[in-house]
A and B are shown apart, each in its own frame.
Chain A
Amino acid sequence: DGGITQSPKYLFRKEGQNVTLSCEQNLNHDAMYWYRQDPGQGLRLIYYSQIVNDFQKGDIAEGYSVSREKKESFPLTVTSAQKNPTAFYLCASSIEKISYNEQFFGPGTRLTVL
């Protein structure tokens, strides 16, 4: 079964620590995305990548970093510079070479900063 996996489902960290969220897809999609979701605010784009070894900042990239060394993987690091990291994080992917942008989502990771 093809899909997107995110791990872990729940993550706790202390203030001042960096933490990395995993996202893997076996859909053979070119593009991958990271979103942050806060209550009542919908989804906000953090970073996206249209091809391996290339990525761009989204609307709220400050305090986050990503890498795209493999087509299947797009890990997100939440750094200590992120002022309010507690949120639900969603990873998505899409086929890049089509005119519309139907995105497929993973199950999400809930990050809580203690």
Chain B
Amino acid sequence: AQSVTQLDSQVPVFEEAPVELRCNYSSSVSVYLFWYVQYPNQGLQLLLKYLSGSTLVKGINGFEAEFNKSQTSFHLRKPSVHISDTAEYFCAVSFSGGYNKLIFGAGTRLAVHP
């Protein structure tokens, strides 16, 4: 069965420090991978996506993620966070073939402190 695991429910970090939010998936078929961000009481906004090609994907707001097929991971990174990056981050996976379902992880709350 396909699934997505976000390994940390909360990540506290100081402003200007680097951050990594971890995401692992389980699938027997090819995948497409997404990271979304959600600010309080708002909808989800796409940060970046991996469809094919280069395994290092750059997104908005200085975020990037690396697809690692052998480790079935798609970790999100930012070299220097800002207070405004405080939000909930969701990893999501869709699978090639069949119904286009998007499976979401439980989310990671990033809290950036001054």
Contacts and interface: CB of A to CB of B under 8 A. Distances in A.
A103 B42 CA distance: 15
Interface stretch (A13-21, A40-48, A66-74, A79-87): A40-48
What is the interface residue range for chain B against chain A? 20 to 34
Contacts, number: 53
Interface of A: 4, 6, 31, 40-43, 45, 88, 90, 92, 94, 96, 99-108, 110
Interface of B: 9, 32, 34, 36, 41-46, 49, 51, 90, 94, 96, 100-102, 104-107
A8 B104 CA distance: 25
Nearest to B109: A40
Contacts of A105: 36, 43-45
A106 B42 CA distance: 8
